């Protein structure tokens, strides 16, 4: 079997997603919310939350506080109210407030581009750490969410059972120039074309090169 051509696939995906809005964190970065702190906070808000909710909730919060010091000056209850449309708003508000307090007290009111520090915060996993490092810090980091995991397996580019395994597999074979790009491209592609249950394969520009592994029915 010939190896899946990732260069060709990602070029086709880039064309296919052009009409759709970018994923939440990229959209917010385009709007100017591109500091490591803002990206991390937006990513926490985005956990188990649709982009259509994450984007306005983040804007709402950042209208009141954009730095750790400003955020720490709010109460967790005020933060929860500002992001209330997001899933688990109260729990996230507590995490956001605690992060802001630590950064204000110990890191000169800034979030450094330090992977270990970012991962040490309660409620922050590799996906948010890598998106923050990739978008705000320009560091090569792969962020694997459910879309990236599902689609790269359908392509047969990786053969894995969890997003964590996919991240490790991609780190071993994906060219670094695509490390940030793969998340930017596959999130809208997964939302609009290679959808979870019944993908739109007949409308997909990858139809002739995709083995559609694990796809039981498509339209």
For position 16 contacting ligand SF4 by CB under 6 A, the verdict is no
For position 154 contacting ligand SF4 by CB under 6 A, the verdict is yes
Work out which of 35, 186, 204, 216 binds ligand SF4, going by CB under 6 A. Answer: 204
Burial 68-101 (b: 16+ CB within 10 A, else e): bbebbebebeebbbbbeebebbeebbbbbbebbe
Task: Give the chain's end-to-end CA distance (angstroms, integer).
Answer: 25
Site size toward ligand SF4, by CB under 6 A: 13
Give the integer Cα–Cα distance in Å for 1 and 42.
41
Q: How far is the CB of 47 from ligand SF4 (least distance, A)?
A: 25
Q: Are 118 and 124 in contact (CB under 8 A)?
A: yes
Work out which of 63, 69, 215, 216 binds ligand SF4, going by CB under 6 A. Answer: 215
- The torsion angles phi and psi of 48, rounded to 5 degrees, stand at 50, 35
Give the contact letters, 112-151, x = binds to ligand SF4 (CB under 6 A), - = no: ----------------------------------------
Work out which of 51, 75, 193, 219 binds ligand SF4, going by CB under 6 A. Answer: 193
Q: How far is the CB of 212 from ligand SF4 (least distance, A)?
A: 4
Of 167, 140, 183, the residue nearest 25 (C-alpha): 183
SS3 86: coil
Work out which of 4, 107, 178, 218 binds ligand SF4, going by CB under 6 A. Answer: 218
Q: Which pair of tokens denotes residue 26?
A: 């990229």
For position 187 contacting ligand SF4 by CB under 6 A, the verdict is no
Residues near ligand SF4 (CB under 6 A): 154, 193-194, 199-201, 204, 206-207, 210, 212, 215, 218
């Amino acid at each position: 079997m010939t190896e899946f051509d990732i260069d060709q696939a990602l070029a086709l995906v880039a064309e296919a997603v052009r009409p759709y809005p970018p994923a939440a964190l990229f959209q917010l970065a385009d709007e100017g919310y591109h500091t490591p702190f803002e990206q991390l906070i937006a990513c926490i808000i985005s956990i188990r939350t649709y982009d259509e909710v994450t984007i306005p909730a983040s804007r709402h919060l950042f209208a009141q506080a954009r730095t750790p010091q400003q955020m720490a000056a709010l109460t967790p209850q005020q933060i929860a109210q500002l992001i209330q449309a997001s899933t688990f708003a109260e729990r996230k508000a507590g995490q956001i407030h605690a992060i802001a307090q630590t950064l204000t007290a110990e890191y000169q009111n800034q979030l450094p581009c330090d992977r270990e520090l970012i991962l040490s915060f309660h409620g922050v996993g590799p996906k948010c750490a890598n998106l923050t490092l990739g978008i705000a810090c320009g560091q090569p980091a792969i962020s694997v969410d459910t879309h990236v995991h599902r689609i790269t397996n359908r392509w047969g580019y990786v053969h894995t059972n969890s997003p964590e395994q996919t991240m490790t597999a991609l780190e071993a074979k994906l060219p670094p120039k695509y490390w940030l790009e793969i998340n930017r491209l596959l999130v809208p592609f997964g939302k609009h074309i290679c959808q979870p249950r019944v993908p739109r394969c007949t409308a997909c520009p990858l139809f002739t090169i995709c083995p559609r592994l694990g796809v039981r029915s498509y339209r």
